[in-house]
Chain A
Amino acid sequence: MSNSYTSPPTLVDPARTTAGLTLRTTEISRLGDLQNYAFAVGGCGDVLNQYWDEDVFEINSTSYVVACDWYIPRPSNIHNEIKVRLGAHTTTAGGTFRFNVTFPTSSNKYTSAPVTITDSSRFASAFEEATITVTGAETDQEVLLTLEVQAVSPGFVQLAFIQASWTKLSSPLSTGSLAQGSDSFIPQGISRLGADLPLTARFGVETLANITTLRKRGRTLFQWAGSQNARVGNTPAEGLGIFDPQVMFSNVALYGGMNQIDDLEVKVLLDVVNYSAGSFIDIFGHRLPITSGGLNEFSLKLRLNEINLSDDFGLSMYQVGLDDTPNNADLLLSIDNKLNTNPLYIRAISIIGV
C-alpha cells in the first residue's frame, strides 16, 4: 500500500459519479491521490516576499545582527524543510547571512548554516539560498523567521529581496495519521482503492475529515517587516508609516463559505514596539486593539465587499491589509508621530488567510 500522489494532479470526473453510472475505482483512486497531493504540495509556494530598492537597506555590523523578522505559515507538522533565497551584495568580500526559524510553543530555534554572499554589486550574478531542516516534533502553524546578516569591515551588505518557501513532501507520504497543527490528515493508500477491493466507510469518513483539515491550511496574503540594524546614514523604513495604507495590502482571493465554516479565518500578526495602552489599528475592515508589546495576534472573519478584480480573476477578490482610515493616520509613523519620539509603532505585519 502506498500513499502516493500524482503531480500535476489528476482530477475526479464528477460526471462519472452521478446516478445511473457505475462507481468506478478510477474515481475513488484519483480522489485518494488528489488528497495526498493537496497535503504534500499545498502551501509550498511563496510564504515570504519582501523587496528593498537600490541603496535602501544596508548593514555593516561585523557580527550577526537581525535584519528583519516575519511570522510565516507552515503547511503541516511534517513539512520540515524551508528554503530562503536572498538577493544581496557585499562591498567587501566575505559578507554572510543566515536565518532562524523559531517555534513559539516550544521556543525551539533552528538556524541555517551561514551562506556567503557572492555578488559584489547589485544583481551581478546570482542570489543566495539557505536551508533549514526542522528536526524536532513541532506543532505550530505559524513560525517566526528571522534574517541575520554579517558584513566584513570596511564594507557593508546591501539587501535587495528575500523569498521563502517550504519544500513539498515527496511521494509517497509516510504512513499513519499526519498532523497539521492539532488537526490530523490520514493519507490514502492508493492500491487499497483499486479494483476488487471494498470501498470502505473509513475512506469516506477520512476524506471528509481530510478536506476539513486542508481547508484550514494557511496561505500568506501579505508580509512586511521593518528594517533593523541598518548602518548609520542608511534609512530604510523601520515601522509602518502614514503613507503605507496606500500600498501595504494585497488583492487576494478569499473563498465563499469561510464565514459559515468554523476555523476558517484570516490571521493578522503584528509586532508592536513601544507599547502603550489604548491604541487601535484598522486592518481588513476591523478595528483591532493593541494589547501588548511584541506579538499581537487576531483571527478575523471576512466583512469587506469584493473588489472589481473578481471579474478578472474569476474568484472572489478582496483587499487585505492596512485600511486607509483617520485612526491609522494617527497611529502610524508620521511627521507628527516620529520614531525619534519613541511612539508605539508596528514593526512587522503578517496576514495569513485560508
Chain B
Amino acid sequence: MLIPTGFQQLPSEEGCYNNQILFGGTVSQMASATAQLSNCKFLGQAHYHIGQKVIPAVGGMLSFATGTSGSVKTNRTYNFLYKSTPLSSHLALLIQYRAGNFEFTNVSITAQLRATGSNSYTGSILDYGVIFQEGLDLVHDQDQIATAFTGSELITAPTNTSPVRVRPLFVPSANRGDLLNVTIATIQALPITVHIYDLLIPEVTP
C-alpha cells in the first residue's frame, strides 16, 4: 500500500453509527490515516547543532571567519546518538560544514553506524558507511557554509567493509528501535550541524 504523507480528511463519524451501512471507503480512510501516523509522522529524526567558542563579551556566534570558533584544519571524531524506531531502516544525513585546504590534504567526512552496547562509543559496526570526498561531495570554501547530503536512495543491505560513496546508512533489522551511534570522522572539515532522518518507505506490503 502507499503510505499517505499528509493529514487527509477523516470520514464522518456518523458513518460509523448503528444502523448505518459501513462502506469500505470509511475503513480504508481510517487505515490510511493510521498508516500515515505509524509509517510517516512518527519516523525518527535528530537535529544536532555543534557549538563553538564565541567571543566572551558578545556571548553568541558572530561568524566562522572571526572570533575563536573552531578551525577547519583539524581532524576530529564525533559521536551522534540516535534513538531509532522499529521502522528505522535507512538513515539520511544532512551535514552543514565548512572545509578548506584541499590543495594540501585529502579532505573528507566519513560516517559510520555503530551499536551502543554498554554505552560504548566503539560498539559493533552496523554499517561501515560512507565517505564525503573533496571535489566530489565537499565544497572548498572555508568562509562559507556548505551542505553535504547522503541522498535518499532506499538501498538494500550493504556489504562493504570500508566507507563507500555517499548513500544513506542502513540499519539492520535486528537493531531497529535501538539507540544507535552515528560516528562522523573529519579530515580538515568542520561540521556545524548534523541532521539524521529516518527515510520514508513510500510503499509497504501489508
- CB-CB < 8 A to A244: which residues of B? 60-61
Q: Which of A19, A44, A163, A243 contacts B85 (CB 8 A)?
A: A44
Report the bound CA distance from A253 to B7 in whole Å: 12
Contact A255–B60 (Cβ < 8 Å): no
- CB-CB < 8 A to A163: which residues of B? 46, 81-83
**B119 is an interface residue with CB less than 8 A from chain A:** yes
Contact B45–A45 (Cβ < 8 Å): yes
- Contact flag A247-B145 (CB < 8 Å), given A56-B51, A85-B81, A256-B7: yes
Report the bound CA distance from A253 to B3 in whole Å: 14
- CB-CB < 8 A to B22: which residues of A? 23, 199, 204
Report the bound CA distance from A247 to B206 in whole Å: 40
Select from chain A the residue with minimum beta-carbon distance to B19. Answer: A201
For the side of the interface on B, what is the size category?
35 or more
Contact B41–A255 (Cβ < 8 Å): yes
**A100 is an interface residue with CB less than 8 A from chain B:** no
**B8 is an interface residue with CB less than 8 A from chain A:** yes
* Per-residue contact bits, chain A 86-110, to B (CB 8 Å; 1 contact, 0 not): 0100000000000000000000000
- Contact flag A7-B177 (CB < 8 Å), given A205-B16, A212-B10: yes
- Contact flag A250-B57 (CB < 8 Å), given A208-B30, A261-B7, A314-B202: no
Contact B38–A34 (Cβ < 8 Å): yes
- CB-CB < 8 A to A13: which residues of B? 1, 31, 206
Query: Within the complex, what minimum Cβ distance (angstroms) separates A313 from chain B?
Result: 6
The count of chain A contact residues (Cβ–Cβ below 8 Å) is: 108
Q: How many A-B residue pairs have CB under 8 A?
A: 310
> Which of B70-78, B103-111, B158-166 has 4 or more CB atoms under 8 Å from chain A?
B70-78
Contact A31–B41 (Cβ < 8 Å): no
- Contact flag A12-B31 (CB < 8 Å), given A238-B60, A261-B7, A315-B200: yes
**B18 is an interface residue with CB less than 8 A from chain A:** yes
Report the bound CA distance from A271 to B26 in whole Å: 45
Query: Within the complex, what minimum Cβ distance (angstroms) separates B130 from chain A?
Result: 16
Select from chain B the residue with minimum beta-carbon distance to A311. Answer: B152
Report the bound CA distance from A204 to B82 in whole Å: 36
**A123 is an interface residue with CB less than 8 A from chain B:** yes
Contact B33–A211 (Cβ < 8 Å): yes
* Per-residue contact bits, chain A 17-50, to B (CB 8 Å; 1 contact, 0 not): 1110101000110110011011001111110011
Interface residues of chain A, those whose CB is within 8 Å of chain B, are: 7-15, 17-19, 21, 23, 27-28, 30-31, 34-35, 37-38, 41-46, 49-57, 85, 87, 123, 125-129, 160-161, 163, 165, 199, 201, 203-205, 207-208, 211-212, 214-215, 217, 219-224, 226-227, 234-244, 246-248, 250-253, 255-258, 261, 264, 309, 312-316, 332-335, 338-340, 345, 354
18 contacts between A and B (CB under 8 A): A12-B27, A12-B34, A17-B31, A42-B42, A46-B45, A51-B51, A56-B52, A123-B121, A163-B83, A224-B49, A241-B59, A313-B197, A313-B199, A314-B5, A316-B5, A335-B58, A339-B58, A345-B60
Extra contacts besides A57-B51, A241-B58, A339-B58 (13): CB < 8 Å: A7-B86, A8-B86, A9-B86, A13-B31, A17-B24, A34-B34, A38-B34, A201-B16, A207-B30, A211-B33, A214-B37, A312-B152, A338-B58
- List of 3 A-B pairs having minimum Cβ-Cβ separation, nearest first: A241-B60, A204-B16, A339-B59
